[in-house]
Amino acid sequence: MIRPRRSLLFMPGSNARALEKARLLPADGVILDLEDAVAPDAKETARAQIASTLAEGGFGRREVLVRINALDSPWWLDDLAMAGKAKPDGILVPKVSSVDDLAAVANRLTDIGADMSIKVWIMIETARGVLNAEHLAAQAQDEEMRLAGFVFGPNDISRETGIRMLPGRATMLPMISHCVLAARAYGLTILDGPFSDIANIEGFACECAQARDFGFDGKTLIHPSQIEACNATFTPPAAEVEQARKIIAAFALPENATRGAIQLDGRMVERLHAEIAKKTIAIADAIAAMAQPARPA
């Protein structure tokens, strides 16, 4: 099943009002955070609030992830125990640097009997995580690892390495491409990190377009005001969907049955373009389905 992941909105698990709003916002998914958005003294309250929010449900077709605390913190085991019981769609693990880190989470989930439907997402936001991105992505071949995707974390990368986050992201583009290639080599989804300058609407629009063009499936967000622009950027335009349907229809004609390349509207089109066209239509259909009410569980 293709799932639109144009926009995944982070919200602090300690912010009851934000958790309440999550059910109504037009994001494709939400990330209920226990890590950086939650102060140490509020971790326990946040964990309890996330558990009751998940128990109550009401997220419709939105994907729900819980971001646990990092593996070098005193909280991650309790976070995982809660999430394993509460059954979000996935658990997002910050600061994963190695396959051992990923295995520690996957093994713990198995030990506590967590349902196999709960996927693991990892944040690529350490120097070692970026360097090991391919080894990490390769773990998607092992079902026991539950690996579903990467989330790029520019703030932590900048903190650890001193690489600055600049407008236009020139300093980060090489590692962004490296992470996108690693994810794609193993069929994983990859989401871009957040844009913190909430008031900078133009800068946000540019970063969304750049993220789309660099191959991300979508972007993580930190404020509801960012959702609509992000969704619009990652939605295939109507003209692109129409062209995709024309390409598929052209290859379906009997006279083209044995042809690898054809001419359509003055352009060469190959079967690889038909594959791209099928993906465009699948994502457009999945986005259209997001607008329909979800079937009751």
**Least separation in angstroms between CB 160 and Mg ion:** 10
Task: State which residue, 159 or 259, has the beta carbon closest to Mg ion.
Answer: 159
Asked whether 109 and 84 are in contact (CB, 8 A), the reply is yes
Residue 194 binds: one of ligand LIB3CWND, Mg ion, none (C-beta under 5 to 8 A by kind)? ligand LIB3CWND
* Binding status of residue 295 toward ligand LIB3CWND by CB under 6 A: no
Asked whether 92 and 69 are in contact (CB, 8 A), the reply is no
Q: Write b or e for each residue in 158-195: b if 16 or more Cβ atoms lie within 10 A of its Cβ, otherwise e.
A: bebeeeeeeeebeebeebbeebbebbeeeebbbbbbbb
**Least separation in angstroms between CB 89 and ligand LIB3CWND:** 17
Decide the pairing of beta strands 63-67 and 29-33.
Answer: parallel
* Binding status of residue 37 toward ligand LIB3CWND by CB under 6 A: yes
**Least separation in angstroms between CB 34 and ligand LIB3CWND:** 10
Using CA atoms, how far apart are residues 25 and 247, in angstroms rounded to an integer? 35
* Binding status of residue 128 toward ligand LIB3CWND by CB under 6 A: no
Task: State which residue, 88 or 194, has the beta carbon closest to Mg ion.
Answer: 194
Among 194, 216, 243, 283, binds ligand LIB3CWND (CB under 6 A): 194
- Residue 96 phi, psi (nearest 5): -80, 125
**Least separation in angstroms between CB 150 and Mg ion:** 13
| 78 belongs to an annotated ligand binding site | no
Q: Which stretch binds ligand LIB3CWND (CB under 6 A): 4-12, 39-47, 105-113, 177-185?
A: 4-12
Using CA atoms, how far apart are residues 110 and 80, in angstroms rounded to an integer? 11
Among 193, 217, 231, 233, binds ligand LIB3CWND (CB under 6 A): 193
| 156 belongs to an annotated ligand binding site | yes
| 270 belongs to an annotated ligand binding site | no
Instruction: Measure CA of the first residue to CA of the last residue in the chain; give whole Å.
Output: 17
Using CA atoms, how far apart are residues 49 and 67, in angstroms rounded to an integer? 13
Report 131-190 residues binding Mg ion (CB under 5 A): 153, 156
**Tokens linked to 139:** 């773990």
Report 222-251 residues binding ligand LIB3CWND (CB under 6 A): 222-224
Using CA atoms, how far apart are residues 279 and 281, in angstroms rounded to an integer? 5
* Binding status of residue 125 toward Mg ion by CB under 5 A: yes
| Residues forming a β-bridge with 121 | 92, 149
| Whole-number CA gyration radius for the chain | 20
Report the binding-site residues for substrate.
67, 125
Where along the sequence are the contacts to ligand LIB3CWND (CB under 6 A)? Answer: 9-12, 17-18, 21-22, 33, 36-37, 123, 125, 153-156, 193-194, 222-224
